[in-house]
Chain A
Amino acid sequence: MTIMKNALGYTPGVLLESGLTLNDHRNAIQERTAKTGFYNGHETLEFKDKDPIGYERIFSKVRAGLVNSREVAKKIAASPIVEQEGELCFTLYNPAGDCVATSTGIIIHVGTMGAAIKYMIQNDWESNPGISDGDMFTNNDCQVGNVHPCDIATIVPIFYDGFLRGWVGGMTHVIDTGAVGPGSMSNGQIQRFGDGIQISCRKTGINDTPLRDYLHESQRNIRTTKYWILDEKTRIAGCHMIRKMLTEVIEEEGVEAVEKFMYEVIEDGRRGLVKRIKAMCVPGTVKTVAFVDVPYSHPDVHVPSTFAKMDSIMHAPCEITVKANGTWRLDFEGCSRWGWHTYNTNPTAFTSGIWVMMTQSLVPTERINDGPRYATEFRCPAGTWTNPKDRRTAHADAWHFLVSSWSSLWRGISRTYFARGYLEEVNAGNSNPCNWLQGGGVNQDGEVHAVNSFETAACGTGACAMKDGLNHAAAIWNPEGDMGDIEIWELAEPLLYMGRRIKTNTGGYGKYRGGLGYETLRMVWNSADWTMFFMGNGYMNSDWGLMGGYPSATGYRFEAHNTGLKERIAEGKSLPLGQDRDPSLCEYEKHLGPDAIVKRDKQCITTEDMFDNGDLYLNYLRGGPGFGDPLDREIASIQEDLNQNFLMEEFAIKIYGAVFTKDDEGVYTIDAAKTKARQAEIRKERIGRGVPVREWMETERAKIIDKDASLAVQQMFASSFYLSAKFLAEFKEFWDLPADWELPEEELGTPMYGARHNIDIGDLPDVHPVIMVEE
């Protein structure tokens, strides 16, 4: 080790004024935190208490600098994902890699880039490859803590007076990483080795200059090089602006004040969460759960290995404990195993991402830093999809599972807001934002291209306890959601819009309904060679409603080939335009040629398939879940839903008991008295058809004893039972099953490759993974 250091000319312990190595410095902080319960041992906030104005002044300068740098840097990018959707963020860290402040944007990267810095610290990057003023490091490795490989981080150390004073990280979501499937959040690949370019905290720049070997190598490994390079410049420019900003702040405020601030502010953030939990939540436990379908046995899912060819279900139970001291614990005991698909995650992504959602309710401030993490205990059991402990796992669409599990946490914690009267904060959950329209090939400009439509950044949001969810408004991972301009997407993709309309009947019913999704019908046009695939949920819905509200509508797939549209356009015949209002009526098919091949089904995950010019693809962006018994919905609101085309007549009748007339102009008028009477009947019908829960439990128990359930359901339970004796024991106790009842995966006959033998990253020589959760 020493030899290596000497050979490269780096001496450990010279980066900090204290003479400590970065690793010793970080360990000392961890120890002081563990010992006192306060970040870095800050039992009092000395600086803030003594000079509150000075403290706030530094915060304001830093935060404004971060936000401003993001806005300026964004303009460099050409990728619509960055430029239209704002999928980038910049974050400032202290020398230990803990976040001090962050810009607006995708807040999950507070944790992911911090994990990369911590990885460099813990694995002695200080000695080799060395850390110097003017260096740049790049990371997108999910085993280091990234969410998915398409989030590329540039990390720049900040020096002042010869010492390391902090780090800045910049992240953009790139359009393509050269994975087996094009489009950045793709599937088709089932292992890391097909998941695209992997850069593990590599030194990619010296003296503020990107290294040529990295630029060449990275471009060879991805499809969309133009966007890649402009994204690279975006991140570097932002990081350098922020480095300059911090240098100026140090010059104005003094190095001592700024250093103090960079630690104290994290303890301040920790206290902020504790205060907020005590102000808004109810202590005790909340249990919640989410599921996602992985329907891989379908013929339209092509994967390279037989062991991935199976239907499975992601299972994400969570027990949230709000403790008396105002901290909380999130325990994911019982989660199902990771799998041979691209939806796995790692604990850093899992836990960092929770803040994306919590900043929309529990900590809605601009003071996002690593503090709240220090007031939170996470438990992600090893071997589950939240913490695979296997370095073969693919992560390209980690969001697919992540957002579903987080949404259930939002629903869960909302129960505590509701309990004590903070109705304005309640959210029934959010849609699993999908579909992700992705694909690639040779585009309308004759270039090798890949696409990932971020229209899904504007799905329907969950209902609140005092108002409806927002229609086509946001995504749980991007609170600043935006569907993007049609004109920009048509420039970025060889896909014309045949329609973009609100999706009727997609918001979950309730006293307050979920926000509606929308749908866009795209026709392939002017491409030379084109592929696309679907990426969403269909057989299952990852959201529930809350307190009597229904889940939103589930997904379905529509695609059409050999449509004859070119001929129909030439002949001036009718075209499929606008809405696919009731999918069972097959409206689009009425405007296609006689030889059209249509796929209209629940298979919402497919792999790359060829699309010719004139072929159709329906991008259906989901709605959000509802809140409260639908029979409590205001009559005027039901009428409005009908008149706005938000709700089909059939379900106004069945769900809301609406009795109405429709005039010649198609305007609906509800008869309030008749509706009230019908609703009273519906309540009686419910009592008539309902059975006492304990009675029903006997019939369900019999099904369990008979092992009467689909293979996907049984495999989900078997995988959770194997990983969690506790979950199995609770299951058996709840259903009062015989002591010898068991469900080993072996008896199902489903592929078990990878189920019993793990290959952990920590087994690699000289690799010390950063672990920040209980396992």
Chain B
Amino acid sequence: MSTYTKKQVSDLVKGTLDWDTVHLMLSMPKDEARYKLYMEVLQENVSYDDKIILAVGPHLNIVESSKDQEIIIKCDCGHEFGHYSKNWKLNALIYVRDNVEKMKEVYPELMAPDTNWQVYREYYCPSCGIMHDVEAPTPWYPVMHDIQPDLKTFFEWLDMPAPAKI
């Protein structure tokens, strides 16, 4: 099994890792230490103290709150999206591209969907305006609850102590 340095994992997150190392990461069995290094790197990239335990997006993490140890979803800017078992999107801002004019803002004519069939739903952080997700469903489609991790089992897999309130 390969091992990587924290610097290499940090470069991976930044998108600057050299291709030889990326290729090694792709072709060799996965390195068990990745999770630990990744969490350290992510933690250094945010200004809050809550402990990051899983990443949901480039600016969205599942964290153990330093206030009350609750497990919540948090934007890099500090905005809290609620308990990790609930869909964070319900606490976001949404902008729906549901007509020709709004679609023209993102794709040239004929290269965007027909909004009678499909709309684009953009989910923004209410505090910093980061776009955390874009959905492309039909009208009427329920908001997708993308991922619901089983944290208890995850920490068993990692053979690491789990946060108290999972």
Residues of A at under 8 Å CB distance from B? 276, 278-280, 282-289, 291, 293, 313, 322, 324, 364, 412, 415-416, 418-425, 465-467, 505-506, 509, 511-512, 538-541, 543-545, 547-551, 553-554, 556, 582-584, 600-602, 628-632, 634, 648, 650-651, 654-655, 682-687, 689-694, 696-697, 700, 703-704, 709-710, 712-713, 716-717, 730-731, 734-735
CA distance A628 to B57 in the complex (A): 8
Smallest Cβ distance from B106 to chain A, in angstroms? 6
CA distance A280 to B32 in the complex (A): 9
User: Which B112-166 residues have a C-beta within 8 angstroms of A?
Assistant: 112-114, 116-118, 120, 122-124, 126, 128-151, 153-154, 156-157
**Once the chains bind, are B108 and A648 in contact (CB under 8 Å)?**
yes
B17 contact set on A, CB distance < 8 A: 466
> With A421-B55, A654-B105 as given contacts, are A279 and B30 in contact (CB-CB < 8 Å)?
yes
**Once the chains bind, are A288 and B144 in contact (CB under 8 Å)?**
yes
Smallest Cβ distance from B90 to chain A, in angstroms? 5
**Once the chains bind, are B106 and A550 in contact (CB under 8 Å)?**
yes
CA distance A544 to B17 in the complex (A): 26
**8 Å CB contact of A690 from B95, B109, B116, B138:** B95
**Once the chains bind, are B30 and A280 in contact (CB under 8 Å)?**
yes
CA distance A549 to B129 in the complex (A): 14
Give the nearest-CB partner of A620 in chain B.
B111
CA distance A322 to B148 in the complex (A): 10
**Once the chains bind, are A544 and B134 in contact (CB under 8 Å)?**
yes
CA distance A601 to B109 in the complex (A): 10
**Once the chains bind, are B128 and A683 in contact (CB under 8 Å)?**
yes
**Once the chains bind, are A554 and B143 in contact (CB under 8 Å)?**
no
B122 contact set on A, CB distance < 8 A: 686, 690
CA distance A758 to B69 in the complex (A): 55
Interface: B51 (CB within 8 A) = no
**Once the chains bind, are A690 and B94 in contact (CB under 8 Å)?**
yes
B120 contact set on A, CB distance < 8 A: 550-551
Give the nearest-CB partner of B15 in chain A.
A466
Q: Could you give 10 example pairs across A and B, Cβ below 8 Å?
A: A280-B30, A287-B146, A548-B134, A554-B112, A584-B110, A682-B129, A686-B131, A687-B126, A713-B117, A735-B140
Classify the interface of chain A: helix, strand, loop or mixed. mixed
Smallest Cβ distance from B114 to chain A, in angstroms? 4
Besides A550-B106, A554-B113, 17 more A-B contacts (Cβ < 8 Å) are A283-B149, A293-B117, A418-B55, A419-B147, A505-B107, A511-B15, A554-B107, A632-B58, A634-B15, A684-B129, A685-B129, A687-B129, A693-B90, A700-B140, A703-B140, A712-B116, A713-B140
**8 Å CB contact of A583 from B96, B111, B145:** B111
CA distance A192 to B107 in the complex (A): 38
**Once the chains bind, are A629 and B131 in contact (CB under 8 Å)?**
yes
**Once the chains bind, are B110 and A289 in contact (CB under 8 Å)?**
no
**Once the chains bind, are B93 and A686 in contact (CB under 8 Å)?**
yes
**Once the chains bind, are B136 and A551 in contact (CB under 8 Å)?**
yes
**Once the chains bind, are B117 and A279 in contact (CB under 8 Å)?**
no
A600 contact set on B, CB distance < 8 A: 110
CA distance A700 to B112 in the complex (A): 22
**Once the chains bind, are A422 and B59 in contact (CB under 8 Å)?**
no
Smallest Cβ distance from B125 to chain A, in angstroms? 8
CA distance A113 to B111 in the complex (A): 39
Closest 4 CB pairs of A and B: A690-B93, A683-B129, A421-B38, A553-B111
CA distance A313 to B139 in the complex (A): 12
Interface: B63 (CB within 8 A) = no
> With A289-B144, A415-B146, A693-B92 as given contacts, are A654 and B55 in contact (CB-CB < 8 Å)?
no
**Once the chains bind, are B142 and A420 in contact (CB under 8 Å)?**
no
> With A424-B26, A582-B108, A583-B111 as given contacts, are A734 and B118 in contact (CB-CB < 8 Å)?
no
CA distance A692 to B93 in the complex (A): 4
B141 contact set on A, CB distance < 8 A: 289
B105 contact set on A, CB distance < 8 A: 654
Give the nearest-CB partner of A542 in chain B.
B136
CA distance A692 to B81 in the complex (A): 12
**Once the chains bind, are A691 and B94 in contact (CB under 8 Å)?**
yes
Smallest Cβ distance from B122 to chain A, in angstroms? 7
B135 contact set on A, CB distance < 8 A: 544
**Once the chains bind, are A539 and B114 in contact (CB under 8 Å)?**
yes
Q: Bits for B61-100, please: 1 = Cβ < 8 Å to A, else 0.
A: 0000000000000000000000000000111111110000
A713 contact set on B, CB distance < 8 A: 116-117, 138-140
CA distance A703 to B132 in the complex (A): 26
B90 contact set on A, CB distance < 8 A: 693-694
**Once the chains bind, are A285 and B134 in contact (CB under 8 Å)?**
no
B37 contact set on A, CB distance < 8 A: 421
Give the nearest-CB partner of B60 in chain A.
A547
Give the nearest-CB partner of B89 in chain A.
A693
Smallest Cβ distance from B12 to chain A, in angstroms? 5
Smallest Cβ distance from B136 to chain A, in angstroms? 4
CA distance A466 to B55 in the complex (A): 14
**Once the chains bind, are A324 and B124 in contact (CB under 8 Å)?**
no
Interface: B46 (CB within 8 A) = no
B109 contact set on A, CB distance < 8 A: 583-584
User: Which B21-65 residues have a C-beta within 8 angstroms of A?
Assistant: 22, 25-27, 29-30, 32, 34-35, 37-39, 54-60
CA distance A700 to B108 in the complex (A): 27
CA distance A37 to B113 in the complex (A): 46
> With A416-B147, A686-B124, A696-B96 as given contacts, are A505 and B111 in contact (CB-CB < 8 Å)?
yes
B94 contact set on A, CB distance < 8 A: 690-693, 696
**8 Å CB contact of B107 from A467, A553, A629, A686:** A553
**Once the chains bind, are A420 and B34 in contact (CB under 8 Å)?**
yes
CA distance A324 to B131 in the complex (A): 32
**Once the chains bind, are A282 and B15 in contact (CB under 8 Å)?**
no
**8 Å CB contact of A291 from B56, B57, B137, B144:** B137
**Once the chains bind, are B131 and A631 in contact (CB under 8 Å)?**
yes
**Once the chains bind, are A541 and B136 in contact (CB under 8 Å)?**
yes
**Once the chains bind, are A324 and B153 in contact (CB under 8 Å)?**
yes
**Once the chains bind, are A424 and B138 in contact (CB under 8 Å)?**
no
A420 contact set on B, CB distance < 8 A: 34-35, 38, 54-55, 154
A422 contact set on B, CB distance < 8 A: 25, 30, 34
**Once the chains bind, are A687 and B124 in contact (CB under 8 Å)?**
yes
B12 contact set on A, CB distance < 8 A: 421, 423-424, 466
B116 contact set on A, CB distance < 8 A: 539, 710, 712-713
CA distance A543 to B134 in the complex (A): 11
**Once the chains bind, are B133 and A540 in contact (CB under 8 Å)?**
no
B13 contact set on A, CB distance < 8 A: 423, 466
Give the nearest-CB partner of A717 in chain B.
B140
Give the nearest-CB partner of A580 in chain B.
B110
> With A466-B15, A686-B131 as given contacts, are A541 and B118 in contact (CB-CB < 8 Å)?
yes
CA distance A412 to B150 in the complex (A): 15
Give the nearest-CB partner of B108 in chain A.
A582
Smallest Cβ distance from A313 to chain B, in angstroms? 6
Smallest Cβ distance from B42 to chain A, in angstroms? 9
Give the nearest-CB partner of B22 in chain A.
A424
A716 contact set on B, CB distance < 8 A: 138
> With A282-B54, A285-B147, A418-B55 as given contacts, are A704 and B140 in contact (CB-CB < 8 Å)?
yes
B118 contact set on A, CB distance < 8 A: 291, 293, 539-541
**Once the chains bind, are A283 and B150 in contact (CB under 8 Å)?**
yes
Smallest Cβ distance from B100 to chain A, in angstroms? 11
**Once the chains bind, are B133 and A283 in contact (CB under 8 Å)?**
no
Smallest Cβ distance from A245 to chain B, in angstroms? 27
Give the nearest-CB partner of B19 in chain A.
A467
CA distance A416 to B110 in the complex (A): 34
**Once the chains bind, are B117 and A548 in contact (CB under 8 Å)?**
no
Smallest Cβ distance from A310 to chain B, in angstroms? 14
CA distance A291 to B92 in the complex (A): 24
A539 contact set on B, CB distance < 8 A: 113-114, 116-118
**Once the chains bind, are A419 and B55 in contact (CB under 8 Å)?**
yes
**Once the chains bind, are B139 and A547 in contact (CB under 8 Å)?**
no
**Once the chains bind, are A629 and B112 in contact (CB under 8 Å)?**
no
**8 Å CB contact of B157 from A278, A419, A421, A540:** A278
A293 contact set on B, CB distance < 8 A: 117-118
**8 Å CB contact of B132 from A505, A548, A556, A601:** A548
